[in-house]
Amino acid sequence: MRVMQVPAPPLLPLLRSRLQAELLTLVLLSPGREWSLTELADRVGCSLSSAQREMVRAEEAGVVSTRRLGNTRLVSAADSPLTGPLAELLLRSFGPREVVAEELAGVPGVEAAYLFGSWAARYEGEPGRAPADIDVLVLGDPDRDELDDAAQRAGARLAREVSVTVRSPRWWQEGEDGFHAELTKRPLVPVLPGGGTP
């Protein structure tokens, strides 16, 4: 079993602001997708003018590209030598691990949580297509309504579906089913390590 213990260093000293980091995370971790400035502003909860300013700076730095479609300005990740390394840094600091951790932190009954599946594999560096969704294993006995709300908020922030699977810590320690066997062979990225940890 491989459990990734890679710390997520804060990148704010390297970036102008948390807003810039969150906007770049959306754009750079969605290669091939075009975002309108309105979508970006709505997603991170900032004004349209703030999103526009940050994207102008990012375009000047060569990490995003923009184009006009009528009155709408569309933003996407640029084809640049800077894009890949910056996307990797953002993935580790502001990507799914951090967002899911923030959203699950207040849910009662969550003893531990892990990313698994394709996001965990990409995080570990395994090659493959960009994940369409984010798989989260929650250990404990959480309030299901609060957990669903947290997953919805995380999904909205990341612009991807967040799929949560809940199991007991006992299942994690003693499970013998196929899902358990598969999880123990694949990468797991701790989100909220705790009492039910592997």
**CATH code of the domain in which 76 resides:** 1.10.10.10
In a domain, 158, yes or no: yes
- pLDDT number for residue 129: 81
pLDDT at position 16? 77
Q: Are 195 and 110 in contact (CB under 8 A)?
A: no
The predicted model scores a pTM of 0.68
CA distance 109 to 177: 23
Q: Considering all CA atoms of the chain, what is the largest pairwise distance in Å, rounded to the nearest integer?
A: 58
Task: With respect to residue 164, please indicate whether it lies within any of the assigned structural domains.
Answer: yes
The chain-wide mean pLDDT, for the chain, equals 86
107 and 173 inside one domain = yes
CB 108 within 8 A of CB 137: no
Residue 68 confidence (pLDDT) above 50: yes
Instruction: Report the pLDDT averaged over residues 165-181.
Output: 93
- The answer to whether residue 13 scores a pLDDT higher than 60 is no
The count of structural domains within the chain is 2
pLDDT bin (cut points 50, 70, 90) of residue 94 is: confident
* pLDDT value for 63: 93
State the pLDDT at residue 194.
61
Residue 169 shares a structural domain with residue 131? yes
DSSP designation for 159 = T
Q: Write the burial class of residue 174 (CB in 10 Å: 0-12 exposed, 13-18 middle, 19+ buried).
A: exposed
pLDDT at 163: 96
pLDDT category at 14 given cuts 50, 70, 90 is: low
Contacts of 180 (CB under 8 A, 6+ apart): 171, 172
Range of the domain at 60: 18-87
pLDDT at 193: 65
Q: Residue 190 CB: number of other CB atoms within 10 A?
A: 19
Q: By percentage, how much of the chain surpasses pLDDT 90?
A: 53
First to last CA, the chain: 9
**Any domain includes 13:** no
Which residue among 87, 104, 126 closes a domain? 87
Residues 120 and 174 in one domain: yes
